Amino acid sequence: MSVQDDIRQTAGQLLADGKVDLVIGFAEGTLAMKAAPCFITAADDVEQLVWNSFCLNNLAVYLSRCFTPDPQLREPPPPPKVAVIVKGCDGRSVVGLIKEQQAPRENLTIIAVPCDGMLDADVARRVLGAEEIVAADEVDGAVKITDETGKETTVDRKELLAEACRFCTHRAAAVYDQTIGELPADADPLAPDDQFEAYCQKPTADKWRQFCSEISKCVLCKACRSACPNCYCRTCFADQTRPNWMGSGAKLGDVIFYHLGRLFHQAGRCVDCGACVRACPVGVDLRTFTYKLVEDAEQLFDFTPGLDLEQAPPLTVFAPGDSENFITDPE
């Protein structure tokens, strides 16, 4: 049975048996190389669910929303029972949300599916120098792409992987209730991350310059925050008015403040799913900076988020052997 058929059958069964109220998965998108998050509440609707190489979104972003009732309701309904289809990155985010008490474990049915890396239409546009991808057809790892001029090009899927997927090492969820298909083992990144390495090699002043120059493109829509499963604060610090932490955005310093604030809150939590980068409407490269935090968490605290439910997040505990180098010797 194909993964897609299996997903439909599993979702249908869970709904029919009343084990869940809602299945969060993917449906066919309206654009080429896009699948859309979808919410299935009736077993009759499971045919809407699809599984293909374009299921890029991190679905964990919806969990904290599912468990936040409408504040207007005097008597909020009991929290729903939710099944969520997870790739490696979604699964790791779900673990983080459970640990941070944003999603009750007992209300979740985590369905782990195999992921070979997802393909990104924006990457395809860049690779082909195209304005728009109008069709994409994948057969055995080769993707036939039609651009806006009608020109067809066949490209190896590896060329089209979303940036985060190129460097992904944990391809399958580590915590789950059900599996579909055969989950892939951890793998090495497809290619060395030259861009990130180049950043790490820079002296601090140059790192700061790169950060400021990249961040100066930001339009402060804060879509990076909205797309991030970790950004579940009921009111974001950037939106608070009493006190007002942030300036209006008229100065670059305001923009820097927002991004530093958001980035620092990701230390030891970011799973490098790339949702923030893909949501950005103006192509700010946030990943270089979030990935630095991922690497710091690994190197300084030997911690990789989202792999188990027991290990405490590094910034919530103190251990006598904790690294202090980043304070005393930041270079």
Partner 1 sequence: MADSKMAKAKLGEFLAAVSADYEVYGPKADNGVVTFGRIASADELALTYSNSTVSAKELFLPKTETVYEFDGENFVDDPLPEQKRVVLGLRPCDCRALTLLDGTFDCERVQDPFYVTRRANTVLVALACDRPLSSCFCTATGGDPYGEEGVDVLLSDEGESFLAKAVTDRGKDFLEQYGKFFSGKAAGKWAERAKAASGKMTCDLSLAEVSQRLDGLFEDDMWERVSQKCIGCGTCSYLCPTCYCFDLIDDKTATGVKKIRRWDCCMFQSFALHASGHDPRPITAARFRQKIMHKFNYHPQRCGLNSCVGCGRCVRACPVNLDIRQLLGDILAAAPSAASE
Which residue, 38 or 172, has its beta carbon nearer to partner 1?
Answer: 38
Is residue 109 at the binding interface for partner 1, with CB under 8 A as the rule? no
CB of 326 to partner 1, least distance (A): 31
Is residue 159 at the binding interface for partner 1, with CB under 8 A as the rule? no
Size of the site for partner 1 (CB under 8 A): 49
Identify residues 43-102 at the interface with partner 1 (CB under 8 A). Answer: 57, 61-62, 65, 70-72
Return the exposure string of 30-63: e unless at least 16 CB atoms fall within 10 Å of the residue's CB, then b. Answer: eebbbbebbebeebebbebbbbbbbbbbbbbbbb
Return the exposure string of 150-187: e unless at least 16 CB atoms fall within 10 Å of the residue's CB, then b. Answer: eeeeebebeebbbbbbbbbebbbbbbbeebbbebeeee
Is residue 198 at the binding interface for partner 1, with CB under 8 A as the rule? no
How many alpha carbons lie under 13 Å from residue 171 in its C-beta half-sphere?
Answer: 17
Is residue 34 at the binding interface for partner 1, with CB under 8 A as the rule? yes
Q: What distance in Å separates the CA atoms of residue 297 and residue 317, rounded to the nearest whole number?
A: 13
Among 165, 168, 279, 297, binds partner 1 (CB under 8 A): 279
Which residue, 150 or 321, has its beta carbon nearer to partner 1?
Answer: 150
* Cβ-contact 146, 152 below 8 angstroms: yes
* Cβ-contact 127, 160 below 8 angstroms: yes
Q: What distance in Å separates the CA atoms of residue 294 and residue 309, rounded to the nearest whole number?
A: 18
Is residue 316 at the binding interface for partner 1, with CB under 8 A as the rule? no
Among 76, 80, 141, 283, binds partner 1 (CB under 8 A): 283
Is residue 327 at the binding interface for partner 1, with CB under 8 A as the rule? no
Region from 75-83, 129-137, 156-164, 174-182 binding partner 1, contact rule CB under 8 A: 129-137
Kindly state the tokens that stand for 230: 């970790």
Among 219, 309, 312, 317, binds partner 1 (CB under 8 A): 219
With a CB cutoff of 8 Å and minimum separation 6, the contacts of 301 are 268, 314, 322, 323
- The footprint of partner 1 (CB under 8 A) covers 29-31, 34-39, 57, 61-62, 65, 70-72, 122, 125-126, 131-132, 134, 148-149, 217, 219-223, 225-227, 235-236, 239, 241, 244, 247-251, 275, 278-279, 281-283
